[in-house]
Structure 1
Amino acid sequence: MAIRLWVDNRHCSAPVSSLSLNDFILSYLMMNDKKNPLELFEQEAPEVSNAFNQLIEALKNTTGLDAKTKQLIYIGIKAVLGDVRAIYYHVAMAKQLGATRKEIRDTILITLTVNGLSGVAACLPVALNVYDEAGN
């Protein structure tokens, strides 16, 4: 038996005994990330990338929410969208800012009320794996 997924219009499979679905998704993301997507964005569209970075900096500098809360909100939004890649990167950032495993978990679980199970099923395993594997 193998895990089979369609990712980026390609069929991918791996023996179930060798990888969990979560590990398969993470290994696929890492294998196909020959270049950091933001670095590629900067290289291919430097003017747009610069404007985007200025927007991000302006949002970071708002004072209504602390940085950890902003990351948790972003993780929730990305979970609703099923954006596993963003979850992968932003959970580590949230942990660096002091987010607990339970905060990460609950941020994704709260999306059940707006998106049903799809975001939780896609993103919770990745988020918890990243949190557990990320350094302090």
Structure 2
Amino acid sequence: MIDHIGISVGNHEKSRGFYLSALAPLDISIVMEVTAQQTGNTAHTGFGNQGKPFFWISGRAATMAETTTTHIAFSAQSRAAVDAFYHAALSAGATDNGAPGLRPDYHENYYAAFIRDRDGNNIEAVCHHPA
């Protein structure tokens, strides 16, 4: 199952306002924001409902690999499955984009791993359950 998806946008603030207005009739609003200072790179805004962000927009970064427009996160049922995804992806030719581990800036049980596929897409496996 897909946990969330993200796209890059040319102007984060304008796109934030656009999606805030366009998604309101669907009962989708801003659930979470991550600043450029927190990421050390670009700002991110998570839209969703019932406290769960499932559609993210991100400002474009300067480097080629970071301007890839697609981010997809798959739900994992356990932290061991996240680890297995990461190692299987690397063995299949992916490159590391974030080793398995907790991401407490997102929430205390956010355990994820990130890889870049052969086309540069940012693919993630995430488990939201406690250890």
Alignment TM-score, normalising by the size of structure 1 = 0.29
Higher helix share: 1
Higher strand share: 2
Q: In terms of Rg, which structure is larger?
A: 1
Alignment TM-score, normalising by the size of structure 2 = 0.29
